[in-house]
Structure 1
Amino acid sequence: MASAAKTTSARTCLVTGGAGGLGKSIALALLAEGANVVVTDFNEKTLNSVTAEFQQRKESVLFLPADVSDAGAVESLISKTVQHFGQLDVLVNCAGIFDRLEPVGEISPELWSKVLTVNVTGPYLLSKAAINHFLSRSATDASIINIGSLASEHGWCGGAAYTTSKHAVRGLTKSIAAFYRNKGIRCNLVMPGGMNTDIVTNMANTQGLHQEGSKMLDAVVEALETPISDTKEVANLVVFLASTRSSALTGAVIKADHGITALI
């Protein structure tokens, strides 16, 4: 993607959930294309464990632990990014947690609140802080990229909390795109299909998945012969949306699912 590199070079990109899974792939892909990258994650220990993978351009990477659901932490994150690199150009809202595939009649208020806080309040707080920075410097092509899911459109990909959260992020994307379309700020949503990440595994190891929800998901996946995407494939799409080459795109919902939802 040599031509894309010219349009991401020197742009500063903040990637939440950047220490693992899709977030790490996105951060590495942006770095490879010449961007400055701020990698943030909730767990400082996890952040420290991946620093070696970013050594090739370590001068262009900043690692900052932060709780994306904490308003003060988010303001500090944006402030430190600007202090270090001069400005912020791109926000990638990738941090997220899964539920246990529980239906609304069974999910606990605690898990509901936890999933909605991380998956919806986090992107809201980050987008708000980033947008105010973009406006303050009269940005002409700032970009916010939200990572959704097939659960942003369908009900079989997650439990009640996760599905609701991903639908909400789709709405947030549309709202940002509508209000700031003439103010130099773009916002788009990427909807990946199945990927080899630890988002489901971590929750399953903690509490176990809901049996009925698991059966429904497995049945759909088997019926559609759902392929597993490499996180690098989705990361390449994010690199394009982060670059000035995608300047005409805002409010777009882009499925990166190998055409699976075209069958539904």
Structure 2
Amino acid sequence: MTNGRVAVVTGAGSGIGRAVAAAMLEAGFRVALAGRRADALQQSADGHPNALVVPTDITVPAEVDALFARVVAEWGRVDVLFNNAGIFGPVASAADVDPVEWQRTIDVNVTGALLCAGAAMRTMIAQRPSGGRIINNGSISAQVPRPLSVAYAVSKHAITGLTRSVDLDGRAHGISCGQIDIGNAATRIMSEIGVGSGALQADGSRLVEPAFDVADAARAVLFMAQLPPEANISALTVTAAGMPFGGRG
């Protein structure tokens, strides 16, 4: 059974995106799952009748436009975008970061997010007066970086600027935008940076950090998505209890 609302989830093939897509489908949304790998998206969709798999490279403007056109052709509208796709990028300081790896991180995490937000805004403006909602996945690295993560940290700080700009510019069109900053949800990227085996700390030591179920992060995103148009959560931080966040610097 569907509640009639339509959501687009980018980076839906794994991690937080997969968990959010599942939570939205369970809540009755019709969900377009976007990402580069069709096989991973099909696994996330799991045959659900209200899931639409749309392989998309979010760094390519024509593919992003085609994603939203496909959703509108299928379901007539877009109510929510969960702007989630991203990569961690190189493990390096500003002194050592490879320019090619830096640019790839910015292309995916910043330009890709911008392209998706822009396409969502154009779609939502066209369906006035109902507007819509955009939720950007920031990360707590939008607030406090990890050591040797300059590309990721800069890209996620940029998401905060994107969130505030979209919320301001969308105001006249009934479009709201909020950001969720998630810390140590149990996903593949947490394994890559050693959260479960020993993540690098600011003092040079390594610490096994606590994590929490990605499904609980997804429930927080769902809560934001289900708010009435009159309400918006502009910023929400959800972390694993006891993780070294407040004392990171």
TM-score (norm 1): 0.83
Aligned residue in 1 for 2:19: 25
The alignment partner of 1:162 has SS state of helix
**Which stretch shifts more, 91-100 or 225-234?**
225-234
Q: Deviations over 1:114-153 (max 9, x none)?
A: 0000000011001111101111111435110000111101
State the structure with bigger RCO (CA 8 A, min sep 6), 1 or 2. 1
1:18-57 aligned within 5 A? 18-52=12-46, 55=47
CA contact (8 A) 1:31 1:60 kept: yes
Aligned residue in 2 for 1:78: 68
Select which of 208, 213, 219 maps to 1:230.
213
Matched, 1:239 2:222: yes
1:113-132 aligned within 5 A? 113-132=103-122
Q: Quick one: structure 1 residues 257 and 80, their matched pair in 2 at CA, closer, same or farther if it must change by over 3 Å?
A: same
Shift of 1:183: 2.1
CA contact (8 A) 1:152 1:169 kept: yes
Q: Quick one: structure 1 residues 158 and 23, their matched pair in 2 at CA, closer, same or farther if it must change by over 3 Å?
A: farther
Shift of 1:178: 1.5
1:143-182 aligned within 5 A? 143-156=133-146, 159-182=149-172
The alignment partner of 1:83 has SS state of helix
Shift of 1:217: 5.9
CA contact (8 A) 2:133 2:225 kept: yes
Matched, 1:257 2:247: no
**Which stretch shifts more, 236-245 or 41-50?**
41-50
Question: 5+ residue gaps in structure 1?
Answer: none
Tell me the matched-pair count.
243
Q: Percent identity?
A: 28
Q: Deviations over 1:150-207 (max 9, x none)?
A: 11011226611000000000110011112222421010000001122112546x7xxx
Q: Quick one: structure 1 residues 240 and 50, their matched pair in 2 at CA, closer, same or farther if it must change by over 3 Å?
A: closer
Aligned residue in 1 for 2:176: 186
Q: Deviations over 1:49-78 (max 9, x none)?
A: 4443xx3xx221100100001000000000
Partner letter of residue 256 of structure 1? V
Partner Cα separation in structure 2 for residue 184 and residue 196 of structure 1: 34
Partner Cα separation in structure 2 for residue 167 and residue 98 of structure 1: 13
Matched, 1:140 2:122: no
Partner Cα separation in structure 2 for residue 30 and residue 183 of structure 1: 24
Partner Cα separation in structure 1 for residue 95 and residue 165 of structure 2: 30
TM-score (norm 2): 0.88
Select which of 6, 9, 12 maps to 2:3.
9
Give the number of the structure whose residues are more often helix, by fraction. Answer: 1
The alignment partner of 1:241 has SS state of helix
CA contact (8 A) 1:191 1:255 kept: yes
1:209-224 aligned within 5 A? 215-216=200-201, 222=207
Q: Quick one: structure 1 residues 187 and 218, their matched pair in 2 at CA, closer, same or farther if it must change by over 3 Å?
A: farther
Q: CA RMSD in A?
A: 2.6
Shift of 1:240: 1.3
Shift of 1:11: 0.7
CA contact (8 A) 1:18 1:24 kept: yes
